[in-house]
Amino acid sequence: MEPNEKPIGAQADASGDAGAANAHPMDAMLEGENYELDMPKRGEIREGTIARIADNDILVDIGAKSEGLIPAREMEQIPAEEREQLAVGQKILVYIVQSGERDGGILLSLARAEEEKDWLDAENLRQSQELFEGSVAGYNKGGLIVKLGRLRGFIPASQVSLSRRRRAEGETPDKRWAKMVGEPIVARVVEVDRRRNRLILSERAAAREAREALKERLITELRPGEVRPGHVISLADFGAFVDIGGADGLVHLSEISWRRIAHPSEVLKVGQKVQVKVLGVDPARKRISLSMRELESDPWAGITERFAEGQLVEGTITKLIKFGAFASLKQADGYEFEGLIHISELSERRIEHPREVVKEGDTLRLRVIKLDPERRRIGLSLKRVDSSEYADLDWRTAAAELNEPVEDFDAALEEDLSAEAPPPASVEEGPATEVPPPAPVEEGPATEAPPSASVEEGPASEAPPAETPEAASPPEEEGAGTTPEAE
């Protein structure tokens, strides 16, 4: 190698050093500025700061060489309430519609940024399988529509929960789905296709978890005494389950109606809309107790108008216990009241158990002996049905049932006696000339009455010759003063 020759690498280093020495200082500054500025790309979502709000547009600083513009046509699509909330210095998300590399202007969209954010949220929900809670926003021929932010998600009819499908009765979509609009719904995102603008959800996939989530939320919100709308989702022998907005509560058989029913199907059917009152909430056991009869008028409030003490009624023995028997008193309007026949009121003789006198299913005539509306108790008696203590009441009741006027027996008897009294009263008050003819006919024989009448009315001078032996007897009957003279 020649002494004056240099290695190839050394020559390259020398040329590089010469280039660096010849570089202008501004080039380094420009290179640094391009490195620090993050140039926007079309379709990108960025967070920016509102720099200026004009009448028709908004300038947003997104960290580029120039500020981005949200045009007037975009602003017109934003609801007035949202526009009023925008302020200078506020942080917002924007969608890059135009990057500004060619013409220098950066065009932004606020609505598309929200939409893209909703797509990202939907994709996150699909990947995490978390539950989405929303409300039914609409419907079409194939199923229900829900709103996920600004997106419209679709729940096909096959993915609707069983309880909703039971209620989806009708030949048209309006009849099947219209009544569900506005109702809360919990679903799981099963498909997200941004390119085809497709968002599919399933309520069935989230049914169990959804009901548990809604039930926990309702349990914290519900208060005893509240009245809520709902619909019947199932019937059992012991009661009915009612959905009150995503969670189900039990209406026990005894709380369905004041009327006695053997099965809930007698008055309810699946899908029927009802109003229920919250009786109690058990957070630990996650149970909700409901009532329908509490919203009806209480028949016990007018119990004194239905029954009265001493009244005879017809009852059916429903249960035997050691100290008596219960009897059901069924009314014409369907209400039933239960009364107790104490063991001492079953028979005149002493008995050890009610079964010695009655048995379940017996229909008997009973007497009401006690009414206690406040304690909701009716006392009944079997042994007092024919008691003379209630004879007058029974007579009046029987007369009322026959639609005959009720009369006082004693008063009627007095009237009958007074009706027979006028003939002798007229004899006493009438003139003397009219009385004598009937008097001798009624009181004495026709042949002997005239002489005796003449003897009494005649003068004393005519009587002595003929009356000495026979006239002594009349004075003896009238008084004892004639006895010495006779002797």
Side-chain half-sphere CA neighbours of 127 within 13 A: 6
Residue type, 448: E
Report the chain's terminal Cα–Cα distance, integer Å: 218
**Phi, psi of 180, rounded to the nearest 5 degrees:** -95, -10
CB 49 within 8 A of CB 91: yes
Q: What share of the chain is helix, strand, coil (3-state, %, to 5)?
A: 35, 30, 35
Q: Residue 73 has which token pair?
A: 């046509």
227-236 and 198-202 strand pairing: unpaired
Instruction: Please name the residue ranges forming H helices in 188-319.
Output: 207-221, 303-306
CB 288 within 8 A of CB 278: yes
DSSP assignment, residue 355? Answer: G
Domains 45-115 and 299-401 share a fold: yes
**Phi, psi of 68, rounded to the nearest 5 degrees:** -90, 155
Give 367-425 as a DSSP string.
EEEEEETTTTEEEEESTTTT-GGGHHHHHHHHHHHTTPPP--HHHHHHHHHHHHSHHHH
Lookup result for tokens 């989530």: 213
Map 97-150 to HEC letters.
EECCCCCCCEEEEHHHHHHHHHHHHHHHHHHHCCEEEEEEEEEECCEEEEEECC
The fold for domain 222-295 equals: OB fold (Dihydrolipoamide Acetyltransferase, E2P) (2.40.50)
CB 300 within 8 A of CB 373: yes
The fold for domain 129-211 equals: OB fold (Dihydrolipoamide Acetyltransferase, E2P) (2.40.50)
- Predicted TM-score (pTM) of the model is 0.43
In degrees, rounded to 5, the angle at the alpha carbon of residue 184 between the alpha carbons of residues 183 and 186 is 140
Q: Which CATH class is domain 45-115?
A: mainly beta
Sequential pLDDT tens for the chain (487 residues)? 444 444 444 444 444 444 444 555 545 544 544 445 567 878 788 888 888 888 778 888 888 877 888 887 877 777 777 777 888 888 888 888 877 766 668 888 887 888 888 898 999 999 998 889 899 999 998 899 999 988 999 999 999 988 788 778 788 888 889 989 998 888 999 999 988 889 999 998 887 777 777 778 888 888 899 999 998 988 999 999 998 877 789 999 989 988 778 899 989 998 898 999 999 988 888 889 999 998 888 888 878 888 888 888 899 999 999 999 999 888 766 678 889 999 999 998 999 999 999 999 999 999 998 888 888 889 999 988 887 777 677 666 666 656 655 455 555 556 656 665 555 544 444 444 444 554 444 444 444 444 444 334 444 444 444 444 444 444 444 443 443 333 3
Query: Cα separation of 210 and 333, whole Å?
Result: 43
Q: Where are the domains of the chain?
A: 45-115, 129-211, 222-295, 299-401
**CATH (residue range 299-401):** 2.40.50.140
377-381 and 336-342 strand pairing: parallel
